[in-house]
Amino acid sequence: MSDQEIELERVYTVPLSRAWITARHRRTRRAVNILREFAEHHMKSSEIKIDTELNEALWKRGITKPPRRITVKMEKDEDGVVTISLPKETKRKPEEVTPPALEQKAESPAPEKSSPVAKQAPATTSKAPVPAVAPAEEKPKESPAPKKAAAKTPAKKKAAKKSE
């Protein structure tokens, strides 16, 4: 491909979720076919080559769990051959992006920050000091008398009344 001039180059996010409809033991094979069909449709060529890194990314989790979607770079050369590969420039995660100003702050120890919710000072309604309350003696709680079982039939109701 180095001797061929690139005619067209595009980056796509290909949805592979239709591969999950098929039987479990055919999903990744179906995902590869979906990728080929997508390339044929969008790049208008029937000659499709899949890069080995992309193929390994598709098969990374095995035959039963292909990715739901994948971002790829498609290049079409003068002969009409489309090469599908992973894009070299991937989006960075927010954790990886650190501007120079943040790097300097990270090096110096930062003071602890309070939570974003504003804390209020305890409100005092009177100016007089509040007297301390002496702890009350704890009395053991008495358990309530056990409840009698409810009588289900009229005969049992009468017997329950007589026993009281």
**Single-letter residue type at 79:** D
pLDDT more than 90, % of the chain: 48
135 belongs to a structural domain? no
pLDDT interval class at 4 (50, 70, 90): confident
Number of separate domains in the chain: 1
Give the per-residue pLDDT at 1.
45
The maximal CA–CA distance of the chain, rounded, in angstroms, is 110
Report angle CA 27, 59, 66 to the nearest 5 degrees.
40
101 belongs to a structural domain? no
pLDDT interval class at 105 (50, 70, 90): low
> How far, in Å, CA of 90 to CA of 151, rounded?
76
153 belongs to a structural domain? no
41 belongs to a structural domain? yes
How many residues would you count in the chain? 164
112 belongs to a structural domain? no
**Single-letter residue type at 80:** G
Q: Does position 68 have pLDDT exceeding 90, yes or no?
A: yes
CATH number at residue 47: 3.10.440.10
> How far, in Å, CA of 127 to CA of 27, rounded?
75
Mean pLDDT score across all residues of the chain: 78
Its domain, for residue 45, covers 6-85
150 belongs to a structural domain? no
pLDDT digits (tens, 9 = 90+) for 112-145: 665 566 556 666 565 666 666 666 666 666 666 6
103 belongs to a structural domain? no
96 belongs to a structural domain? no
> How far, in Å, CA of 19 to CA of 16, rounded?
6
Q: Does position 41 have pLDDT exceeding 80, yes or no?
A: yes
User: Beta strands of 19-109 (E only): which ranges?
Assistant: 47-50, 69-77, 81-85
Mean of pLDDT values over 36-44: 94
> How far, in Å, CA of 16 to CA of 33, rounded?
10
pLDDT interval class at 158 (50, 70, 90): confident
Q: Does position 24 have pLDDT exceeding 50, yes or no?
A: yes
Q: Does position 95 have pLDDT exceeding 50, yes or no?
A: yes
